[in-house]
Chain A
Amino acid sequence: MAGICSYGGYVPRYRMNRGLVVGAMAWINPIIMMYAAGEKAVANFDEDPITMGMAAGVDALTGKDLSSVEGVYFASTTMPYIERQNAAIIALAMNLNENIRSADYGGSLKAGTTALLSAIEGVESKRINNIVVTAAETRQGRPGSPQEIIFGDAAAAFLVGDTDVIAELKGSYSVTYDFPDHIRGANTKYDRQWEDRWCRDLGYVDFIMESINGLLDKYSMKLEDFSKVIYACSNAGGRKKTSGKLGVTPEQDQPNLQDQIGEAGAAQPLVMLAQALETAEPGDKLLVVGYGSGCDALYFEVTENIKNYKPAKGISGCLANKAALDNYTKFLVWRDSLEGEIGLRGEVTDYSALSALWRKRKQIMGMWGTKCTACNSPQYPPQRICANPECRAIDQTEPYRFADKTGTIASFTNDMLAATLDPPAIYARVEFDGGGRNMLDITDCSPEEVAQGTKLTMTFRRKYHDKQRDIIGYCWKGVPVKEVA
């Protein structure tokens, strides 16, 4: 039977105390003081749903055979591209096969659960197997709005297949309504929400209950049959009311991580499901609900395989790796809500040669180099003539991937002159374990965390955003390996 074979997560390293938002913005909208508790996860200046969804996918596929993957489904309502498939970028960066199916799922916050359902049902059809489902979100509220303070950035991913399944899909029930509680046009940046009491009572409460009750009726079950009830609802009142009406016990209630991450839109139910699986036991029944323009309710049963499954980082691992973003205006600049001055140097944007990007896609998006087959030395970027002065073999190479290698900082600088949204720009000469070297941007760290000898892993990030043409460039950077307790 088809279901979830593995899971992974990604939460950006930076977390912002909500008190910072309140302190800066409550003067214009005092109601946000109601949401002051806890912290929200904030994507770094070089992260977006593509990079986060990719990172969650890599986490989910740890130890899995990449070549067996036949599809990638990406869910988000904050995809960087409207045209140029976001899932295809993720597939390229993850180094998945090219003969695969890909799709972007958007338009509704239930896109994450719908993508997961579609993938599992695809596998059940026997016409496709091993689909990566990844969901990531960076929703934005206008500065001073409740949404700004409630929303948080996160991603979760699953490998869906029919072998070594850890959680089988036993059933589902969906309802669809054109319920316009949250609206964002194609060219609109910030979430627009109708009166929250209406959203709460007619939206969350009614639809979540309708989908859950519909599922229980369909399969002749009772809520107490489920060990976990997993549903996203950032409205604390709505959540309390819904759980109360349904009779969800505290043990069944999977935490929505509002105090640690925030509302992560289409990724939210998947983030919660990924975390629930971390502690799930064989036989556990999980009820997962995705909300938005109606609801999807999914019913999973955990299998014996979960005993043998070891996740990589998972949501809990990501939550443990954190650093405070102690500056609200930095958050605003990173999200382009406040235009920060980075000097005339920062205004220079060269034209992206898209035909060159296509030609070099493996090098740039997948961090592929070459290995000289004559002298066995790995080299990045790809070389046709070996860079070893004792070798110089011509066209005797094989592809060699650096994205999954670790490296060490040989030398570095913290550059205050370079135009960046996160000064100083940190870049370093990196020597890769196993051979090869390159100069790389270093991210997710402060200058104090960088030294000669610092160990790095590779991470897929934004390199630039050409605002004039709305082209986002991606590249690979180094990130210092952190000791996480």
Chain B
Amino acid sequence: MADGIKDKVAILGMGCTRFGERWECSGEDLAIEAYKECLEDAGIAQKEIQACYMGSCYDEVGIGKSAVHLANALKLPHVPVTRLENYCATATEALRAASYAVAAGAYDMVLAIGTEKLKDTGFPGLPTGGGGTDTLLANPDATGPGMFAQLAPAYCKKYGIEMPKVKEAMAHISVKSHANGSMNPKAHLRRPVTMEQVLNSPIIADPLGLFDCCGVSDGAAAAIVTTPEIAKSLKPNQDIVTVKAIQISVASGQETTFAWDGANLITNQTAAKKAYEEAGIKDPRTEISMMEVHDCFSITEFVIMEDLFISPFGKAYDDIMDGFYDLDGKVPCQVDGGLKCFGHPIGASGLRMVYAVYEQLLDRIPEERKVKNMELGLTHNLGGEPAKGVVSVSIFGRL
């Protein structure tokens, strides 16, 4: 019987670029920036890296297909380099593969890196395409906000809640993330906003307004993973951050084709259950110290709070408005600003979230952004569309 990944892999070092409209940088430049920081943090030489898993989602506007372009850019010395793609969970997939390689004993020093250059399309929002033949030939040319917006009416119907109330909680979510992001020098959007600004912002896809949508950003993030034993030997005087769980759940076709309420996500819930089991968590509401979740849109964060079994189903409104997820709340969420304000370069976001948790666990955070009683951090990605998506839930703590 498999017993999971818990405490079998340590994160030796991490790097993360400033996210944003990095007009001066290519995808390769961003990767090098994150790699450089990561190497310095890990305290190892380039030649010690034995394998690399790299993630990028939109190869059409990014660094191209395959891992060759990145291997060339980083001058990785003829080691196995593999490109992974799994929508918004892409970077988490890279970390998962790197962690499994270490846990399997195949390698003991592996680089996981995610990079995405989105701001070369010439238009706002994500690049088009990628839905396959059926989308091209028959399905609606739906956008990210358009697909996620549909969660809101379905949620209202499911729980008998009026839309203005849900919109109010959605606005609180964005106000909170802007407040957090404003304190973070690496975040894309650094201006605090008010409830009024959020509620009065122009509609992008009804009921989502401009401030309900996350930033579309360029960025990269990286991690070097090794065994806990090596980590301890290399860093005898600091805490060792280990992987407690990395789980992925991919939609089965049930949601799009058979039956689904359109409000809460089966993928979110199944990934969370598996991750809590792997990490040995019984009561996530009291055991999780902080979360970096996939707040691509405010309504997404809203339902995730229930799907991760933190807020009771139908009750996320109460927790959100009570400040339960605010920086000084019981389970702070989007402490670094989240996708909303830190930004969302698709193929880097998973590792950026881990970076936020890693820094909290190592207590490298300025006082104003520090999470109290930091023990376990959760990261969560949700790629694709709600009905046809990829969800990752990962948990990190100290050894």
Interface residues of A (CB under 8 A from B): 343-345, 348, 350, 352-353, 356-357, 360, 363-364, 377, 379-381, 383, 385, 387-389, 410-420, 424-425, 427-429, 436-441, 447, 452, 463-464, 473, 475-476
Contacts and interface: CB of A to CB of B under 8 A. Distances in A.
Contacts of A417: 124-125, 143, 145-146, 204-205
12 contacts: A345-B125, A357-B137, A360-B138, A363-B138, A379-B257, A414-B203, A415-B204, A427-B146, A436-B257, A437-B258, A438-B257, A473-B136
Contacts of A464: 141
Contact of A388 (B127, B133, B134, B258): B258
A256 B138 CA distance: 37
Interface string B90-108: 0000000000000000000
Given A344-B121, A387-B252, A389-B252, A413 B138 contact: no
Given A344-B121, A345-B125, A414 B205 contact: yes
Contacts of A343: 123
Closest 9 CB pairs of A and B: A415-B146, A387-B257, A413-B149, A387-B258, A427-B140, A411-B154, A411-B150, A344-B123, A415-B205
Contact of A356 (B122, B128, B133): B133
Contacts of B122: 344
Label chain B's interface by main secondary structure.
loop
A439 B258 contact: no
A186 B259 CA distance: 50
B59 to A, nearest CB: 15
A438 B206 CA distance: 19
Given A357-B137, A463-B138, A415 B143 contact: yes
A383 B252 CA distance: 12
Given A353-B136, A464-B141, 8 more contacts: A360-B134, A410-B154, A415-B143, A415-B205, A418-B140, A428-B150, A429-B387, A440-B140
Given A356-B137, A363-B138, A473-B137, A383 B146 contact: no
Nearest to B152: A411
A51 to B, nearest CB: 14
A419 B142 CA distance: 9
B157 interface: yes
Contact of B153 (A345, A411, A436, A440): A411
Interface string B56-69: 00000000000000
B137 A415 contact: no
B128 A424 contact: no
Contacts of B147: 413, 439
Interface of B: 121-125, 127-129, 133-134, 136-143, 145-147, 149-154, 157, 202-206, 208, 252-254, 256-260, 262, 387
Nearest to A442: B140
A389 B253 CA distance: 9
Nearest to A476: B138
Contacts of B145: 413, 415, 417
B158 to A, nearest CB: 10
A254 to B, nearest CB: 40
A140 B295 CA distance: 48
Contacts of A357: 137
Given A345-B123, A427-B142, A416 B257 contact: no
A412 B137 CA distance: 21
Contacts of B123: 343-345
A437 B153 contact: no
B252 A413 contact: no
Contacts of A352: 136-137
A413 B205 contact: yes
B189 to A, nearest CB: 18
Contact of A413 (B128, B129, B146, B254): B146
A380 B134 CA distance: 11
A51 B87 CA distance: 36
A252 to B, nearest CB: 48
Contacts of A383: 253, 257
Contact of A438 (B143, B146, B256): B256
A348 B126 CA distance: 12
Contact of B129 (A350, A419, A447): A350
Contacts of B141: 418-420, 425, 464
A418 B125 CA distance: 10
B135 to A, nearest CB: 9
Contacts of B150: 411-413, 428-429
Nearest to B388: A439
A380 B257 CA distance: 6
Contacts of B136: 350, 352-353, 473
B170 to A, nearest CB: 14
A388 B260 CA distance: 11
Contact of B253 (A387, A427, A476): A387
A414 B206 contact: yes
B206 A413 contact: yes
Contacts of B149: 413, 415
A230 B193 CA distance: 68
A452 B157 contact: yes
A418 B122 CA distance: 15
B44 to A, nearest CB: 42
A414 B208 CA distance: 10
Contacts of B139: 438-439, 475
Find the residue from B123, B140, B142, B146 having the highest chain A CB count within 10 A. B140
A475 B137 contact: yes
Contact of B256 (A377, A437, A473): A437
Contacts of A387: 252-254, 256-258
B388 to A, nearest CB: 9
Find the residue from B127, B157, B256 having the highest chain A CB count within 10 A. B256
Nearest to A383: B257
A451 to B, nearest CB: 9
A415 to B, nearest CB: 4
B254 A388 contact: yes
Contacts of B253: 383, 385, 387
B389 to A, nearest CB: 13
B129 A418 contact: no
Contact of A425 (B125, B138, B140): B140
Contacts of B204: 415-417
Contacts of B146: 413, 415, 417-418, 425, 427
B129 A348 contact: yes
A476 B138 CA distance: 7
Given A439-B139, A475-B137, A416 B258 contact: no
A389 B251 CA distance: 11
B186 to A, nearest CB: 27
B137 A389 contact: no
Given A411-B262, A416-B203, A428-B150, A353 B133 contact: yes
Contacts of A410: 154, 157, 262
Contacts of A350: 129, 136
Nearest to B137: A364
Contacts of A424: 205-206
A437 B138 CA distance: 15
B202 to A, nearest CB: 8
A414 B153 CA distance: 12
A475 B134 CA distance: 10
Contacts of B202: 416
